[in-house]
Amino acid sequence: MIKSAALNLLLVGLVLLPPVSLSFAGKGDSPGMVAARARMVASLERTLAEGYGIRDEAVLRAMNRVPRHLFVPAQQQRRAYENIPLPIGFGQTISQPFVVAYMTHIVGIDESSRVLEIGSGSGYQAAVLAEITDEVYTIEIVPQLAQWAEDRLTFAGYVKVKTKQADGYHGWMDKAPFDAIVVTAASPHIPPPLIGQLKDGGRMIIPVGSAYLTQQLVLVEKHGDDIRTRNLLPVRFVPFTRASEP
Amino acid sequence: MTLSSSKYFSEAGTDIALFLLSAVLIASQVVLMQALARSQGYHFAYIVISLALIGFGCSGTVITLGKRWMSRHAGDLLPGFMFMAGLCCLFAFPAALSMVAKSDSNFLFLDWRGWIPLLVGAFFAFLPFFFGALVIGLVFVRDSDLIGRRYGANLLGSASGGGLGILLLFRLPPENIFPLFSCLIAVAVLCIAISVKSTRGSLKFCLCSSILAVLGFGAALITPESAISSYKGISHALLLPEVRITNDEPHPMGRVQIVESPALRYGPGLSLHFRGELPAPPHLYVNGDAYGVMLSPTNEISALLEHSLQNLPLVLANPQRALVINAGAGSFVSHLLSRGIPFVEVIEPHPAVALIVEKFYGSFLQGTILLTHARDGRSFIKASPCRYDLIMLPVQGTFGGGLGVQSLRENYLLTEEAFQAIWNALEAEGFLSVSVYNDQPPRQTLKILSLLVSAMKKQGIEDPSGHIAALRSWEMLTMVASPSPMVDSDRERLAVFAETLGFDRTWIPGKGPALNDSYHVMEDDRLNDGFIAIIGGRDEEFIESYPFMIDVPTDDRPFFHQFLRLNRLPETMKLTGGSALVLMETGSFIVVITVLLLAAVTFFLILAPLLYVEGAAGGKRAPFFVFLYFSSLGLGFMFLEIMWIQRLTLFWGHTLYSAAGVISALLCGMGIGSIAAPRISPSKASLSSILIILLCVVAASHLLLPPLFQASLGLPGYLKWLLGFCVIAVPAFIMGMPFPLALRRVAESHSSLAPWAWGINGFFSVLAPPLAVLAAINCGFAAVGWLALAAYGVALASATSLHVRRAGV
């Protein structure tokens, strides 16, 4: 039987929030920000352990290292370490820290994993992944956001993360196969090209369902031709926007 | 009173004005319902009716309190109020829709800020009704000597309004209709100008009329498309690259738009083993909600569909004659055509969509006979003598479960009566196929199963285990059922299909769930438990103990997507974490909140002013029996109205038709009743007699209407309209009498109580629609009918004590 807490609704993409302009956040990682981040991570640790029985030191360490305030627009910085999604413009959001931690844990990566992220958004999820592994590839369809994510990742020191502005539906064929794929935008179906680009034994986590309705976070596991899924949580992400050509 | 010929014609101007204004006010309700259905996905009929009633009630309070002053200044006030009513049609309705579109009903209980635009929108929507009702009330007060003909004009106009609204919606989208309403009010103002004796007074009206007409015509020419919630499917689709709308037509049953984009792909129920390119077919939207895709039955599509869970019935059967009910844009039709089924019959209730389906798929026919019917599935099955090898129902529910506010919508295809009728239309070796999206905890999947098993048992299949097969993907579950038991070859085909494409066998006919299948693991094992219990004969026990409502919906309680058990609320809150529950069951919670909000608003707008002013003037407050009588009348009347709207939704095929028709029939019948009422003495005996007759008529109609409608469901549309109109108008005729009679009786003894009677009646009339919906969801429409009867019973009991003794008498 499922744990009751596992069905708690996660407001991943709270699209009611107003759009914001993309101006650079302030430099540096002040003691105040460090302390706020530590409090956020402590809170996440409790939530993951008590609600989901998850204890993942690597993920928590990564969350504690990434300066989330550098990945949000300047006017959102004071709320950067609250466990909520924040608007980053173009109808997109930076995911709730809990969801970032949960998804990073579920795909089960280590320092040797090659990871593809679909939907760079702010670049925050890619940064967290990059704290665990050096091979992180991230795709963003909205050109302005792709540029923003690249700039933020570079600014925050995650220079090894490879970014691309393209339609994530088609994945990143040149760099395939991947040990893990993290999709951070809702899709009405699981894109076949992404399954094709998973390595044998690879895992993909993807929110699926109708745009703007509740979606399910689904884990896809590939073992040769055997593809299995596991429905994890009800969530609500912003829609998966796709371009017409790869 | 007799009028000279010239006086008669000059007064006719005011009558025409009242007729037009009344028609506009009722038509506005119909158009507003359609506009809300487009903007938010649900018609909110009960809220629109309540808003209109608040407008009328509030105007009554204002007129009651300022009667003398307003009578003296009627010449100045009337054009002003009419101008405001016209102006509000022009600006307040679009503003209301724009505000409502800013809110996401799914978030209302998670973020309180979502209520602000909704409440502001409700205020805007209230304004036209308020000013329109002020005009009508003021004319009644000013022309009390001509009240009979004024009232007649008002009622005739109101009765025509429903039809006017529907007719306009056939031609225009709501945003273009509101300016027309403004123009109609401009004509009404001009008509009143005729009856004004002074040139100066006449000029005022002419000036108002001209301004309104210019603004109305101007707005009709430049009206931008009304706002639609950014949370609707089409809003998302229109953000995609290279998107274009290839078809766009208004319709009372919902605006039809076809959207195409190379990125708008399609692949529901698809196996994860499919490695081909997903097609990007035209997507059809009705009122901005996804209504299906138009799939060309090509070889590529055929390959795609063979990888789909929805191919299951075609794996098990080789039908010669197939029926697709509520076909939407016809993706199932494509499926059948690509497999070369010789005879395919398609039922689609939306006439514009049915036409599109007929034209689109008609061009791909190769040896297949395709018949398309623009008709509701239930009435088609009732009227059709045909039997089918395969009947396909549309995919039900949403992935993950929870339709939000749309869970309030009645679904007459997913009821016990519907499934029995569908089962009867199957050949002995035929198959019924239905797919439903997976949800957690399982609710819609198990409810569909309950329906299926219930229908089979009613048809004498005691052990349905061998008659059902079910497969599940990560996304949906497809069930097929047959009147004949499935055999080993069926089980083999099922196993091969499931294993090849990676689907889990939720039910192997005659055997049960394949517990070793684990392609798609759900974090909840109640689905298998539910299948075993419901098919295995422990259905009643399981359904009763299940935390969610998964018992079989009926025509009396056709709310398939309502799963909340109020008596199990703490348990379900714990199970779902609370926040998820409000998202799953938004509809129920919204109705409860609406009752509370309406109670507060109506109290402050209608009762509190009366309390304050009458109290300050040392006036008499309403005695208990006056309160009881007029509150019961308000509740009884509105309970019946809402119940009839719901009952006629199945009979007439759509809520909007039903709302318009019932409102018109009620007003027509009641109007004649009210006109007849002055001929009857307001004595205790006559009042009691009328209420007894009313109770008998309402009880008879309550008991006889469901079987009558059921038996007449297969009749042609115009006969159903006539029948429905008559069976509502007859009781309405008697329902129109108790209020004016009792008002006269109360006013005779103490005239200051008349405003109270009006206010109390208005207060409870506003509250009754959401209360009726709440009662229907939990106990069924029959219960709402009995509540109405009980309310009229209370009115009868209190009618004998209505006479209020004067002090010192």
DSSP string of B372-424?
Answer: EE-S-HHHHHHH----EEEEEPPPBS-TBS--GGGGGS--TTSSHHHHHHHHH
Choice between B330 and B745, residue whose per-residue pLDDT is larger: B330
Q: What is the pLDDT of residue B115?
A: 83
Q: Which of B14-18, B471-475, B669-673 has the lowest mean pLDDT?
A: B669-673
* pLDDT bracket for residue B348 (50, 70, 90): very high
Element (H, E) at B356: helix B351-362
pLDDT at A10 over 80: no
Q: Are A210 and B402 inside 8 Å of each other by CB?
A: no
Dihedral sign from CA coordinates of B520, B525, B529, B530: negative
How many angstroms separate the Cα of B393 from the Cα of each of A209, B327, B329, B794?
A: 21, 8, 13, 45
B-chain residues near A11 (CB < 8 A):
110
Q: What is the pLDDT of residue B468?
A: 96
pLDDT at A114 over 70: yes
B-chain residues near A2 (CB < 8 A):
440-441, 523-524
Q: What is the pLDDT of residue B621?
A: 54
Out of A4, A21, A23, A95, the active site residue is: A95
The torsion angle over the Cα atoms of residues B668, B673, B675 and B676, rounded to 10 degrees, is 150
Mean pLDDT of chain B: 85
B-chain residues near A227 (CB < 8 A):
272-273, 502, 519
The torsion angle over the Cα atoms of residues B526, B527, B532 and B538, rounded to 10 degrees, is 60
pLDDT at B497 over 90: yes
Element (H, E) at B622: none
**In-domain check, residue A37:** yes
pLDDT at B565 over 60: yes
User: Under CATH, which number does the domain B283-563 receive?
Assistant: 3.40.50.150
For residue B405, the chain A residue with the least C-alpha distance is A213
A-chain residues near B275 (CB < 8 A):
192, 195-196
Region B176-205: mean pLDDT is: 84
Active site residue A95: yes
Q: What percent of chain B has pLDDT over 70?
A: 91
Reported as a single tens digit per residue, the pLDDT across A159-207 is 999 999 988 889 999 998 999 999 988 788 889 999 999 999 999 999 8
Residue partners of A96: CB distance under 8 A and separation at least 6: A10, A11, A12, A83, A84, A85
d(CA A94, CA B529): 39
Inter-helix orientation angle A57-65/A31-52, to 10°:
150
User: Under CATH, which number does the domain B585-809 receive?
Assistant: 1.20.1250
Residue-range definition of the domain harbouring residue A136: 9-235
Is residue B110 within 8 Å of residue B589, measured between CB atoms? no
For residue B241, the chain A residue with the least C-alpha distance is A243
Mutation target to probe the B interface, by most B beta carbons within 10 A, among A83, A106, A244 is A244
| ipTM score for this prediction | 0.75
Is residue B177 within 8 Å of residue B226, measured between CB atoms? no
**In-domain check, residue A245:** no
Q: Looking at B554-623, list the stretches that DSSP marks H as alpha helix, in order from N- to C-terminal side.
A: 569-576, 579-584, 586-602, 608-616
Region B410-427: mean pLDDT is: 93
Choice between A21 and B802, residue whose per-residue pLDDT is larger: B802
Q: Are B240 and A242 inside 8 Å of each other by CB?
A: yes
Q: What is the pLDDT of residue A213?
A: 61
Instruction: Give the number of other Cβ atoms within 10 Å of residue B225's Cβ.
Output: 9
Mean pLDDT of chain A: 81
d(CA B683, CA B641): 27
Burial class (CB in 10 A: 0-12, 13-18, 19+), B68: exposed
B-chain residues near A14 (CB < 8 A):
107, 111
Q: What is the pLDDT of residue A13?
A: 37
Looking at the 3D structure of chain A, how many domains does it have? Answer: 1
Q: Looking at B257-318, list the stretches that DSSP marks H as alpha helix, in order from N- to C-terminal side.
A: 299-306, 312-316
B433: which 2 tokens?
């196929």
Is residue B21 within 8 Å of residue B114, measured between CB atoms? no
Residue partners of A195: CB distance under 8 A and separation at least 6: A204, A220, A222, A227, B272, B275
Reported as a single tens digit per residue, the pLDDT across B518-561 is 888 887 778 999 999 999 988 889 999 998 889 999 999 998 98
Residue partners of B728: CB distance under 8 A and separation at least 6: B644, B648, B661, B662, B665, B666, B669
Q: Looking at A19-142, list the stretches that DSSP marks H as alpha helix, in order from N- to C-terminal side.
A: 31-52, 57-65, 97-107, 124-130
Domain with CATH 1.20.1250 in chain B: 1-228, 585-809
Q: Which of A222-226, B42-46, B99-103 has the lowest mean pLDDT?
A: B42-46
Fold of B1-228: Growth Hormone; Chain: A; (1.20.1250)
CATH number, residue A42? 3.40.50.150
d(CA B432, CA B423): 8
At which residue do the structure tokens 């007849």 appear?
A: B676
B268 touches A: beta carbon within 8 Å: yes
Q: What percent of chain B has pLDDT over 90?
A: 38
Is residue B439 within 8 Å of residue B445, measured between CB atoms? yes
Region A75-86: mean pLDDT is: 84
Is residue B280 within 8 Å of residue B258, measured between CB atoms? no
pLDDT at B3 over 50: no
Reported as a single tens digit per residue, the pLDDT across B765-802 is 888 988 998 899 888 999 999 999 999 999 999 887 76
The nearest CA of chain B is from the CA of A92 a distance in Å of: 12
Region B629-657: mean pLDDT is: 89
At which residue do the structure tokens 């973020």 appear?
A: B111
pLDDT at B631 over 70: yes
Backbone angles phi and psi of A118, in degrees to 5: -105, 120
* pLDDT bracket for residue B577 (50, 70, 90): low
Q: What is the pLDDT of residue B407?
A: 72
A-chain residues near B116 (CB < 8 A):
none
Backbone angles phi and psi of A88, in degrees to 5: -125, 10
Q: Which of A118-122, B57-61, B223-227, B577-581 has the lowest mean pLDDT?
A: B577-581
Cα three-residue angle A62-A67-A71, rounded to 5 degrees: 115
B297: which 2 tokens?
């039955």
Beta bridge pairs of residue B74: none
B192: which 2 tokens?
């009143």
Q: Are A213 and B398 inside 8 Å of each other by CB?
A: yes
Q: Are B263 and A16 inside 8 Å of each other by CB?
A: no
CB pairs under 8 A between A and B: 153
Residues in B 579-618 with any Cβ partner in A closer than 8 A: 579-580, 583-584
For residue B397, the chain A residue with the least C-alpha distance is A210
Domain with CATH 3.40.50.150 in chain B: 283-563
Residues in A 68-97 with any Cβ partner in B closer than 8 A: 91
Is residue B18 within 8 Å of residue B154, measured between CB atoms? yes
Is residue B683 within 8 Å of residue B734, measured between CB atoms? no
Is residue B393 within 8 Å of residue B423, measured between CB atoms? no
Q: What is the pLDDT of residue A76?
A: 81
The torsion angle over the Cα atoms of residues B156, B157, B158 and B161, rounded to 10 degrees, is 120
| SS3 call for B523 | coil
d(CA B620, CA B747): 12
**In-domain check, residue A240:** no
pLDDT at B510 over 90: yes
Q: What is the pLDDT of residue A237?
A: 62
Q: Are A209 and B400 inside 8 Å of each other by CB?
A: yes
Beta bridge pairs of residue A207: A217
Instruction: Give the number of other Cβ atoms within 10 Å of residue B626's Cβ.
Output: 26
Q: What is the pLDDT of residue B4?
A: 46
